[in-house]
Amino acid sequence: MKNFSILLLKDSNFGVSQYHFGAKFMFFLLTLILVGAGALGWKFFDQHQTILKQAQLLEKQENTKIAFQQRIDLYDGRESRISFLENYVEELKQSSHNSDVMFKKHLALFRSNTHKLDELHDYMCQTLEAQCTPKLKDQTNPQQTVQWLDQIYQDFLLFNQSLQEFASNRRSFEEQANTIQQLRGQLVETEQDLSEHMEFLKVNQATVIRLTKKISKTTGIRLSKTGKTKRVKAKTGRGGPTILDSLSLDSPQTLLSSGSLRSFLYNNSDNYYETVAQLEDLSQLIERNQSFWRHTPTVIPVRSRALSDRYGMRKDPFTKKR
């Protein structure tokens, strides 16, 4: 039979000491270690179970807390919805009250406008002396009111059409009046221009007569009446004398009328044609004799009483040069 023992040696100043442990002690020590290990294992298992239970308890408490918080949130949401609905109901009541007040105001305004429209319609009918729609008797009947407004609308369309025609005619009359006024102004300006032109012709006629006499006296050429064909002026369609025809052409301060100016032109046109024909003949005669006159001496070709050796020297009758 085998025996196990433990031998411990200890070195000291007194020498080596020896300790001897037998098999029983070893068995006791091993048993003690196993019992301690089993106790520790059981303790560990018990602690593990306790931790698991506490974890499950905490999870359950957390779930309960979440559920409770959800209920609280649900109650808060319901309370906020209830508050919102209460406020919304109050707003609807206030809006209903405002709508009622606004409806009453609009109804009063509509009745007032209807009354004014009826008065305006009657006034226009009386002014235009036309047969119009009768007055509205019952304003509380919507159908009758709508029919009456439709008839009023048709009447106003007719009134508007009449006003447009009147405005168009008025513009046409105004344009015609403006045109007449412009034509009157142009007529006055034309009469003034004609009177000034007649005065200018009279002055020119006197100047032509004076120059004709002077030319005849200077050249010795007698201007006789020509036998040219005279243009015959039609004297039809002149009309009779008017009040303006009594104005004198000799008065420069008086506005000459178209009748008097026309009469003056007709009476003096032949004299103008005759004078123009004479001046044309005189111009042709002067042009025809110009070369002969330029080569004909007009003074004696001497410097003194004795004859000079430069026969034919003379002064030019026009330039006065030798």
pLDDT at residue 254 greater than cutoff 50: no
pLDDT at 121: 74
How much is the pTM? 0.30
DSSP 214-225: HHHHHH----PP
218-224: list long-range contacts, CB under 8 Å, 24+ apart: 219/286, 221/282, 221/285, 223/278, 223/281, 223/282, 224/278
Closest CA to 255 of 268, 240, 245: 245
Separation between Cα atoms, residue 170 and residue 160, nearest integer Å: 15
Contact 245, 257 (CB under 8 A): yes
Residues 6 or more apart whose CB falls under 8 angstroms from that of 312 comprise 297, 301
Distances 243 to 198, 248, 258, 265 between C-alpha atoms, Å: 20, 11, 11, 18
Which of 89-98, 229-238, 255-264 is predicted least confidently? 229-238
pLDDT at 248: 41
Beta bridge partners of 15: 12
Of 93-107, 154-168, 231-245, which has the strongest mean pLDDT? 93-107
pLDDT at 263: 63
Amino acid at 318: F
pLDDT at 230: 45
Distances 16 to 5, 9, 20, 22, 101 between C-alpha atoms, Å: 19, 7, 13, 20, 123
Domain range summary for the chain, segments of one domain joined by + = 6-106, 116-179, 193-294
pLDDT at 42: 92
Contact 7, 18 (CB under 8 A): yes
Residue-wise pLDDT for 34-51, tens only, equals: 999 999 999 999 989 999
pLDDT at 241: 43
Residue-wise pLDDT for 70-91, tens only, equals: 888 888 777 888 888 888 898 9
Residue found under tokens 């070195």:
11
The percent of residues in the chain predicted with pLDDT above 90, rounded, is: 4
Tokens of 214: 């002077």
